[in-house]
Structure 1
Amino acid sequence: MLYPDEQAAFVDLDRHAPGPALARFVEFYWHVRWNVTEPYETKVLAHPNVHLVFEEPAPQVYGVNRSLFVRRLEGRGQVLGVKFRPGCFRPFTDVRVADLADRRVPATEFFGPAVAETCRAVLRADGPAEMVARTEEFLLPRLPDPDPVAEEVADMVERITARPALFRVDQAAETLHISTRTLQRMFAEYVGASPKWVLRRARLHEAAARADRGADVDWAALADDLGYCDQSHLIRDFTATVGVPPARYART
């Protein structure tokens, strides 16, 4: 979530860990509650994850958003999201996860009509803990068979995003001991975004996180740390996605 200090005044965000049976599929659950007196656009620099979101008027599955995710908040409301581990939504669907990229699809297409009633129950629940419990009650009987490739891909994403300075796809493939073509094919099938996008997004997350800490940032040094050839490349990359240069974002 971008501009976290600004949004903290009227948006509450908390996270909840999944139970043991769901941990191989779900990274965490997230709950957002807001209360605004006038419309406000919240902005999120998305990770390479698919989300099941219980919201009004109906639950949705969100594919990987490869641009900047913007949601307009009005009045009071709340949503509960299921953030699947990278690659680990694939066992729930018959299509490549790349086919879901930048799309919002009714959750009934993946989980049947019962997910609509579960959505209503989740949003009526008494607090986030009960919302998560109802979500797990719904998901547990519907878990697909374990997919070892999905878990392998989740591990791949974790390994390469833990190194923001990893810049090129061929470097990532070498680190993972597979060919570049195989890596690209696996990411299209399971992740929903290319390895190049995942590497680029990890660098932007690190740049935004540094800015959010509130201290002065040496952008030239950060560009070097993240593998950019110079500061101007970092500025162009950040501005193209976030909409403002990193120094202006940090001041805001």
Structure 2
Amino acid sequence: MSAPSTSQRGILNPHEGKKHFHLARHAPAEDLAFFIERHWIIRWDLRGQNPFQQEVLPHPCVNLVVEAGRSAVHGVDTRRFVAHLEGKGQVVGTKFRPGAFFPFVRVPMSGLTDRSLPLQELFGPAGAALEPAVLASDDEREQIALVETFLRQRLPERDDTVATVVHIIQRALECPEVNRVEDLSIRVGHSVRTLQRLFRQYVGVSPKWVIRRFRLHEAADRASSGGQVDWAALAQELGYFDQAHFIRDFKSQVGRSPAEYAALCTSRTGGGQAMTRPLTGPL
């Protein structure tokens, strides 16, 4: 297993985070890769140090998360959240491809948006047993193997619509000129109404939300790079009507204006209001 991605998009002020926790990413087994984008494991040891709060701007994906006392399946979180890390701990997560958790439960993902369901509630006693089994080990390969065995025993048939949804979202991510749902519709050859229906059922958020989130990930990534940013030019590049609209949107999602966030990343200091949530979204 090797780390499939080193992208930090979605992890706010990532330079500061690196000082407080270790993040490892692993590719899934080949037979699960249709459904799973990657596994991720976070470990921290802050004993004798102040607690740390890591802000995250989640991706449009469902995550299965194993964490002491809080193991659950997390739907797409539309809000920024702050994970509170203290003492010593670990989280073992599995990030599904966009739309790829739907075949496991066959219920619209819109019902899971901004919600978390305990593993026991979704999977019964086997779900409850997964947490102690995974956390009893410190070996990442063994932990991932336990999660994959659990999922493999419940593996649904491949749903061709999942591949369609993944392709559509990939186009939204890779094409910066796609700034509206109408633009995406033309790119992928599906009507706006079809896109909205697919996303409601398979992803849990609208295509408009996905486009907006990807553009804010891009803006936050540029701001955290430490270089000079022409905010007016970036606003235009990302498809905003003007710089004022861009600043308002950025602040509503990130919690700070672009300039304030850039200064925060440069100073390498954290902050934010803590929520007792695991790191579920972008990892």
TM-score (norm 2): 0.86
Match of 2:199 among 184, 187, 198: 187
Match of 1:164 among 166, 176, 181: 176
Report the aligned-residue RMSD.
1.2
Q: Contact 2:20–2:52 at 8 Å: present in 1 too? A: no
Instruction: For residue 23 of structure 1, report the CA deviation from its aligned partner.
Output: 0.3
Of structures 1 and 2, the one scoring higher in RCO (CA 8 A, sep 6+) is 2
| 1:215 alignment partner in structure 2 | 227
Match of 1:20 among 9, 21, 30: 30
Amino acid at match of 2:186: E
Instruction: For residue 220 of structure 1, report the CA deviation from its aligned partner.
Output: 1.4
Q: Contact 1:92–1:110 at 8 Å: present in 2 too? A: no
For structure 1, the residue ranges without an aligned partner over 5 or more in a row are none
SS at match of 2:89: strand
Instruction: For residue 13 of structure 1, report the CA deviation from its aligned partner.
Output: 1.0
| 2:45 alignment partner in structure 1 | 35
Query: Superposition pairs for residues 1-252 of structure 1, below 5 Å?
Result: 1-36=11-46, 37-252=49-264
Instruction: For residue 115 of structure 1, report the CA deviation from its aligned partner.
Output: 2.1
Cα distance between partner residues in 2 of 1:161 and 1:64: 17
SS at match of 1:61: strand
Amino acid at match of 2:19: A
Query: How many residues align structurally?
Result: 252
Cα distance between partner residues in 2 of 1:218 and 1:88: 37
Cα distance between partner residues in 2 of 1:58 and 1:223: 39
Amino acid at match of 1:187: F
Instruction: For residue 74 of structure 1, report the CA deviation from its aligned partner.
Output: 1.8
TM-score (norm 1): 0.96
Overall identity of the aligned pairs, in %: 48
